[in-house]
């Protein structure tokens, strides 16, 4: 097994030399190299080149965004994705029970157990966890703004951890109440139009580490779980619907639509940015979404209460 490690230095407290030593102690000659990203999107290019050179496993060291870039470089190749989670939310690693402790995560990678997962493709770009328009995207943008604040950003993130998304959600909710997102959703068998405050496309249950937006979603069931929260002039009713979805309540609420599909086409009146795997993509008015079954191997721990 040939293993190459890609490190996002902005999301990892350890330097590449120390990481190389830790991986080498556990992997020995199986470790080929440790590469460091230099700019946004670099991990995707590195992963693609590394896979073409014959690596069996490519490790993403960073948060969900780093894992997403590596994923996009590996889709369509035989190489497997491994994750050493050092980000803020770490949604993918948390769902797959991959430990945040560096030595334990390296032990999981060394064991090499694989699980085949579905991947979601949106306008040619791929993700593994949850995609979203509207309020979730606004929340992610505000969380990023909090993390990037001069002087206070890093200490704040270190202090409150993934609770930064809850703080960002509260701030984003008031702004989103003033915005309208008219979307048309087509599934191939049905089509409808609604004024939506949030639209979620889930390949796993939770988003931002603590919001269980799609409790029944699974990354290997070959289906995509869609949840829409209708805009409401009453802030109290909109807040209640949003809180219900965030806490994973499955009972039917007024203004919440849930359905499952493999293909979707979404159009909006105004360009909207799209959030997935912690990455915010450029705004667009049309999204072509397709679930690709069993598209990537991911390194996971030994079996335990599989979800």
Q: Do 92 and 215 fall into the same domain? A: no
Asked whether residue 48 falls in the same domain as residue 174, the answer is no
Does residue 304 form part of some domain?
Answer: no
Q: In terms of domains, do 135 and 284 share one?
A: yes
Do 210 and 131 fall within a single domain?
yes
For residue 14, give its domain range.
Answer: 3-112
Instruction: Give the end of a domain, one of 58, 88, 112.
Output: 112
The answer on 135 and 72 residing in a single domain is: no
**263 within domain boundaries:** yes
Q: What's the confidence (pLDDT) of residue 195?
A: 81
pLDDT at 238: 72
Q: Would you state the pLDDT for residue 247? A: 72
CATH number at residue 42: 3.40.50.10330
Do 279 and 221 share a domain, yes or no?
yes
In the block, tokens 């703080």 appear at 167
Is 268 found in the same domain as 160? yes
pTM over 0.75: yes
CATH number reported for the structural domain that contains residue 183 in this entry:
2.60.200.40
**Same domain for 248 and 179?**
yes
Q: Which among 299, 277, 304 is positioned nearest to 62, based on CA atoms?
A: 277
Domain match, 157 and 198 both: yes
Segment 89-126, tens digit of pLDDT: 799 999 999 999 999 999 999 999 999 999 999 999 99
What's the confidence (pLDDT) of residue 237? 78
In a domain, residue 305? The reply is no
The answer to whether residue 95 sits within a structural domain is yes
Q: Answer yes or no: is 119 within a domain.
A: no
pLDDT at residue 305 in the model: 46
Number of domains comprising the chain: 2
Q: Do 134 and 269 belong together in one domain?
A: yes
Same domain, residue pair 175 and 290: yes
Residue ending a domain, among 112, 140, 171, is: 112
Q: Which of 112, 139, 161 corresponds to the end of one domain?
A: 112
Structural contact between residues 262 and 295, judged by C-beta atoms closer than 8 angstroms: no
Does 108 share its domain with 141? Answer: no
- Rounded distance, CA 198 to CA 201, Å? 10
Residue 307, domain member (yes or no): no
* Distance from C-alpha of 203 to C-alpha of 178, rounded to nearest angstrom: 29
The answer to the question of residue 131 being in a domain is yes
Question: What is the mean pLDDT of each successive set of 10 residues along the chain, which is 307 residues long?
Answer: 94 86 95 95 97 97 96 98 91 94 96 97 96 81 66 62 69 65 85 85 85 90 92 72 72 79 92 90 92 98 66
């Amino acid at each position: 097994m040939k293993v190459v490690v890609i490190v996002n230095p902005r999301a990892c407290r350890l330097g590449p030399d120390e990481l190389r030593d830790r991986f080498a102690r556990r992997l020995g000659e199986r470790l080929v190299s440790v590469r460091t990203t230099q700019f946004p999107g670099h991990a995707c290019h590195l992963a693609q080149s590394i896979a073409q050179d014959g690596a069996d496993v490519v490790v993403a060291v960073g948060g969900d965004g780093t894992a997403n870039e590596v994923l996009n470089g590996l889709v369509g190749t035989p190489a497997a994705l491994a994750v050493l989670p050092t980000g803020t939310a770490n949604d993918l690693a948390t769902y797959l029970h991959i430990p945040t402790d560096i030595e334990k995560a390296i032990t999981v990678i060394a064991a090499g157990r694989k699980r085949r997962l579905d991947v979601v493709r949106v306008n040619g770009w791929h993700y593994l966890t949850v995609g979203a328009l509207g309020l979730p995207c606004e929340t992610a943008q505000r969380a990023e703004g909090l993390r990037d604040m001069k002087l206070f950003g890093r200490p704040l993130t270190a202090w409150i951890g993934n609770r930064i998304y809850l703080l960002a959600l509260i701030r984003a909710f008031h702004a989103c109440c003033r915005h309208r997102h008219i979307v048309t959703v087509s599934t191939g068998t049905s089509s409808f139009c609604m004024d939506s405050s949030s639209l979620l496309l889930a390949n796993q249950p939770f988003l931002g580490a603590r919001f269980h937006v799609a409790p029944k979603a699974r990354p290997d069931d070959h289906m995509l779980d869609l949840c829409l929260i209708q805009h409401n002039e009453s802030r109290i009713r909109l807040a209640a619907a949003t809180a219900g979805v965030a806490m994973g309540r499955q009972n039917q609420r007024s203004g919440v639509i849930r359905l499952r599909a493999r293909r979707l086409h979404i159009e909006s009146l105004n360009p909207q940015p799209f959030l997935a795997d912690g990455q915010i993509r450029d705004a667009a008015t049309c999204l072509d979404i397709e679930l690709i079954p069993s598209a990537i191997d991911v390194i996971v721990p030994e079996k335990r209460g599989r979800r």
